[in-house]
With several copies, the nearest count.
Chain A
């Protein structure tokens, strides 16, 4: 137990004033039930926000911001904190003016209103969405100092929507229809090609996230849900689905979202987000402030291949590993929350986590990735992250031997 002297007691023989004195909130009533029709976080949580990195992109309209993973717990990301990536800013669409069209190799080219979509059978699924460029800065080594910046292009949300399969079946996909083009209604008219097999398997057209309508920055009134696959494919403000016999090779699947290897070749169709994890606490933005003793290490793990079967944690930079405790729902293609509780002796730590998914894929080291791919892939960096903790509990993003 901490000595009482360190707890801010005015006079130790009495106790802390926040206990011995009646505080204002113990005496005077606060806001009533008419004050906050739609509630907000506490004024004391004003630091828990999405943050952008101005120099990463040319302007804020085609840019990204990052989820404050170090301030969150559990597996659900609150809607207000889900990272944003737009290519032409946030489209503000009145849902009565929104349409979803299905065209191309179908028996009937169809147009749906929002009201139409809500007449199809619905389902509810929890999925992570990770930008393929998440941790992209780390290809060249430790650069940004905080898991919000190194790993914050991910969120995990409970979606409600309609199986894409039902919509495609309603239009009647012709035998030659092997690919789907999904298109957004924003000013970038974002497009991606999706193989029909995935489209008919587990994709959804979602209209709600975490219980309420999608947020504008997440594609209100509808977005495509492509479980386990790179976030760019989850077309927001979805307005059109075209069925075709070949992929479209759009800008976002050629110029971008292809992975340049050391030999100048580039991988295309790298859709799955690989098995990955990160320690969110402690981390550079969340140092250890309580000194030695019992402590909770926490983090997130995920895989586009399925559920996470195990997470290992090392406190000595990968020399020795300990199985972490996965707590809360363990769902395929969703975030998993892990904890590792230990007694800190106050000495230097090198923290790492390593996730294993239920298809047996093991999260690789950054060195393993770089040795195969070189440093120019930008996307799909799922390497093991290292945080250095010094004797004061200060945490830094480092690369180690």
Chain B
């Protein structure tokens, strides 16, 4: 309520003002794995397909396979141990909430925040469909059934344990003299690959930086 605003803030410095409920609602758009932050709403995969084809397919491809170097959204299941893993919603992402949250805040790229909450439910349902996580195009995703969906790779995330790696765990003094037997030999040249953009003949290699 606004009446409270005229009273001094209870903080130590008394700086700032209380946010109005409308202001918090306008910005508090995040969604958590446990469903906290999900808005009222619903949408089917079929509805999502129409929205997707209109707003998303130009970059992400008709089936989420991506155009050019835009992100791939579907497929890649079973590739995480491959030489070139394909990390998608279906193959890699642990939580469905992240799809809803991210599409709502940042997509379509170039016109963020232009979708309705129902649109985002429908798109999320369709992305499940493109990733073979639901098979029925009439599948409807809603605030109510949202947290019942588990993504396939959810259990494959572990907490950071870098400090236990042998090179970090070993705190002995590093070798200073005669640390390796033979003279150094070149095993790989950047100049052979020649992908540095300063050179005239730029060739894009596979992969990139996410």
Q: How far is the CA of A87 from the CA of B109 in the complex (A)?
A: 9
- Compute the total of residue contacts between A and B using a CB distance below 8 Å: 341
B41 in the interface (beta carbon within 8 A): no
Task: Give min CB distance, A281 to chain B, whole Å.
Answer: 16
Stretch at the interface among B131-139, B141-149, B174-182: B174-182
Question: Given that A56-B208, A149-B196, A255-B98 are known contacts, is A246 also in contact with B5, CB under 8 Å in the complex?
Answer: no
Complex CA distance for A369 and B176, rounded to whole angstroms? 20
Q: How far is the CB of B204 from chain A (nearest CB, A)?
A: 3
CB-defined contacts of A133 to chain B, threshold 8 Å: 209-210
* Partner-binding segment picked from A71-79, A219-227, A318-326: A318-326
Contacts A58-B70, A120-B13; A145 near B112 (Cβ below 8 A) = no
Chain A residues 166-189 with CB under 8 Å of chain B are 166, 169-172, 181, 183, 187-189
Q: Given that A188-B112, A284-B190, A400-B184 are contacting pairs, would A111 and B158 also be in contact in the complex, using a CB cutoff of 8 Å?
A: no
Q: Is the interface of B mostly helix, strand, loop or mixed?
A: loop
Cβ distance A144 to chain B, nearest Cβ, rounded Å: 5
Contact of A260 among B85, B177, B191, B194 (CB under 8 A): B85
Within A1-52, the residues touching B (CB, 8 Å) are: 1-4, 7, 12-16, 19-22, 26-29, 51-52
Chain A residues within an 8 Å CB radius of B7: 1
A170 touching B176, Cβ below 8 Å: no
| B195 at interface by CB-CB < 8 Å | yes
Q: A15-B22, A88-B112, A144-B195 are in contact. Are A249 and B168 (CB under 8 A)?
A: no
Instruction: Tell me whether B160 and A319 are in contact (CB under 8 A).
Output: no
Against A, the Cβ 8 Å flags (1 = close, 0 = not) of B102-129 are 1001100111111000000000000000
Q: Is there contact, CB below 8 Å, between A183 and B27? A: yes
Shortest Cβ gap from B26 to chain A (Å): 5
Decide yes or no whether B71 CB sits under 8 A from chain A.
yes
A136 touches B209 (CB 8 A): yes
Asked if A218 lies at the interface with its beta carbon under 8 angstroms from chain B, I say no
Query: Does any Cβ of B come within 8 Å of A262's Cβ?
Result: yes
Q: Is A94 an interface residue (CB 8 A)?
A: no
Q: Do A29 and B110 have beta carbons less than 8 Å apart? A: yes
A354 within 8 A of B: yes
Q: List 14 additional contacts besides A64-B209, A401-B180; criterion CB under 8 Å.
A: A13-B22, A145-B191, A248-B30, A249-B33, A268-B157, A284-B190, A312-B176, A319-B179, A368-B166, A368-B167, A372-B166, A380-B162, A396-B189, A397-B189
